[in-house]
Structure 1
Amino acid sequence: MIALILAAGYATRLYPLTKDTPKPLLPIQGTRTILDLLMDRLEVLEEITEILIVTNERFFGAFQQWQLEYGGTKPVRILNDGTSSPETRLGAVGDIQFVIEREHLKEDLLVLAGDNVLGFGLEGYLNYFHQVDKDCILVRTVDNIQELRSVGVAELDDELRVLSLEEKPQSPRTNIGVFALYIYKRSTLPLFSRYLAEGGNPDAPSYFPEWLHSRQEIRAYFTEGTIEDVGTPEAYAEMRGSLRNGEGNNGE
């Protein structure tokens, strides 16, 4: 299995913090960055054979510098999608397809947002994927209506099959939020190009499984752990404070 970290965004809501520093490389726990904490989650997954990080032209050098200082054991490669501004970005789904095509990927693929701080390990999620042998999305119960309106929202049956999925709904049908952690079977990867060729939205990563679930079965995996998107300067300061005080980022 290959892990793909999406890190090609420009995080304009965090300016000026992210004017010259990509959001995943912001220090979050002392000198350790959001990306460092995410890599901790991946390093313990035996079946991950390589970690790919896709970024843009503006931040490519910063990730290369991070890689020089990174002391992990798994192979890591930084890929440049060639874009240099928010106006020219490929979008999350566009970046996934860029990597699939450039690297000729033929392995199962774990896709992660590079700017999320996870309060749980990923071992259970990967075990579930192998158990059901289907493409998987990660979900958790969300009771805040404003948060639901900012993520994907799923309807599931009793077997945790996805019945519907809607990105950022104004009127959510359920309280099941979908977060940017996906596992795709190798046989599904060619469908990314078909999705985009049919005019699919290349932006948010949940748009692809929203399209996919009506064509083949997708299963959902529930977590009770926290998933923090450090989207504003205030949220960033709050997250740094909680981690400094020993809260959050615990195992499942």
Structure 2
Amino acid sequence: MKALILAAGYAKRLYPLTKDFPKPLLRVAKKPIINYITEELERISTVSEIIVITNSKFLPHFKKWKKHFHFSKPVTLIDDLTRSNSTRRGAIGDMAFAIKKKKICHDLLVIGGDNIFDVSLNDFLSFARRKKPHPTIGIYKLKNIKQARNYGVVRIDRKKRLIGFQEKPANPWSSLVAMCLYFFPKEKLRLIGEYAAIKHDKHDATGFYISWLMKKETVYGFIFKKNWYDIGHHDTYEQARRIFLKNKN
């Protein structure tokens, strides 16, 4: 299995912190956000390679990061060849680019480079493998349903199959939100390139991809309940810093 970390965004909502510095390399409890991901991936025996896709602007930062830290698994950097927010490929576009560039033909675990967590991915992967050849996404249960207005909200049935999706709804039907965490069996990798080939402006909104995917394929969801943050704004970044620093102490 290959693991792909998405780190090619320009994070305008976190300016000025990320104007000239990549969000996944911002520090939480004295280490880069992305290290929480790589450290967990290194503990997963079935992950044979960690691939990080970034952009031309921030590639030098990631080269320094890779040189500074020691990894027990191969870490490969990919440049998506964009230099600005206006030319970005988006999350789905970057997935498709990486798959084509690396000629990936293995099961693929995809995770957003701005995700920070203190939970093992082993249960998620065990669940996802049982659901093969269908894709599985990570789902997070928020404590406050009002917060779900800022995310893609999912509905699942008793078998944990996705049966509904709302993109940032004014009135969420649940507190279950989609995470930027995906498991794609190798048989379904084509569904990433297929969506990326569609001419539209929604390659950066993974929620629209989930809606599209649900119409093409059975999709399962695995629910996480422990600490997990998607660092999209200054407030979530500060909250994560407080929580993880407290846990470290």
- TM-score, length-scaled by structure 2: 0.93
Match status 1:223 vs 2:224 = yes
Name the residue aligned to 1:142. 142
CA offset at residue 135 of structure 1?
0.8
- Distance 1:149-1:247 versus aligned 2 partners, 3 A rule: farther
Provide the C-alpha distance between the structure 2 equivalents of 1:166 and 1:197, rounded to a whole number of angstroms: 23
Match status 1:245 vs 2:246 = yes
Name the residue aligned to 1:126. 125
- Distance 1:214-1:234 versus aligned 2 partners, 3 A rule: closer
Mapped contact 2:146–2:172 kept (Cα < 8 A): no
CA offset at residue 232 of structure 1?
2.9
Mapped contact 1:6–1:92 kept (Cα < 8 A): yes
Name the residue aligned to 1:193. 193
Q: What is the percent sequence identity of the aligned residues?
A: 33
CA offset at residue 101 of structure 1?
1.4
Provide the C-alpha distance between the structure 1 equivalents of 2:235 and 2:91, rounded to a whole number of angstroms: 24
Mapped contact 1:54–1:95 kept (Cα < 8 A): yes
Name the residue aligned to 1:209. 210
Name the residue aligned to 1:67. 66
Provide the C-alpha distance between the structure 2 equivalents of 1:23 and 1:69, rounded to a whole number of angstroms: 17
State the one-letter code of the partner of 1:73.
Answer: S
- 1:193-215 Cα distance to aligned partner (Å, 9 max, x none): 22233345201223222211121
Name the residue aligned to 1:79. 78
Mapped contact 2:145–2:174 kept (Cα < 8 A): no
State the SS of the aligned residue for 1:125: helix
Mapped contact 2:28–2:244 kept (Cα < 8 A): yes
Name the residue aligned to 1:11. 11
State the one-letter code of the partner of 2:66.
Answer: Q
CA offset at residue 231 of structure 1?
2.7
CA offset at residue 143 of structure 1?
4.5
State the one-letter code of the partner of 2:82.
Answer: T
Name the residue aligned to 2:168. 168
Provide the C-alpha distance between the structure 2 equivalents of 1:168 and 1:233, rounded to a whole number of angstroms: 19
Provide the C-alpha distance between the structure 2 equivalents of 1:115 and 1:196, rounded to a whole number of angstroms: 21
State the SS of the aligned residue for 1:228: strand
CA offset at residue 140 of structure 1?
2.5
CA offset at residue 44 of structure 1?
0.3
Gaps in structure 2 of 5+ consecutive residues: none
Which is richer in helix? Answer: 2
- Distance 1:25-1:210 versus aligned 2 partners, 3 A rule: same
- 1:174-203 Cα distance to aligned partner (Å, 9 max, x none): 322111111011111112222233345201
CA offset at residue 163 of structure 1?
0.9
Name the residue aligned to 1:22. 22
CA offset at residue 247 of structure 1?
5.9
- Distance 1:143-1:242 versus aligned 2 partners, 3 A rule: closer
Provide the C-alpha distance between the structure 2 equivalents of 1:151 and 1:169, rounded to a whole number of angstroms: 8
Name the residue aligned to 2:50. 51
State the one-letter code of the partner of 1:232.
Answer: H
Structure 1 runs of 4+ aligned residues shifted over 6 Å read none
Provide the C-alpha distance between the structure 1 equivalents of 2:6 and 2:52, rounded to a whole number of angstroms: 6
- Distance 1:243-1:143 versus aligned 2 partners, 3 A rule: closer
Mapped contact 1:148–1:172 kept (Cα < 8 A): yes
Match status 1:181 vs 2:208 = no
Gaps in structure 1 of 5+ consecutive residues: none
State the one-letter code of the partner of 1:223.
Answer: F
Match status 1:97 vs 2:96 = yes
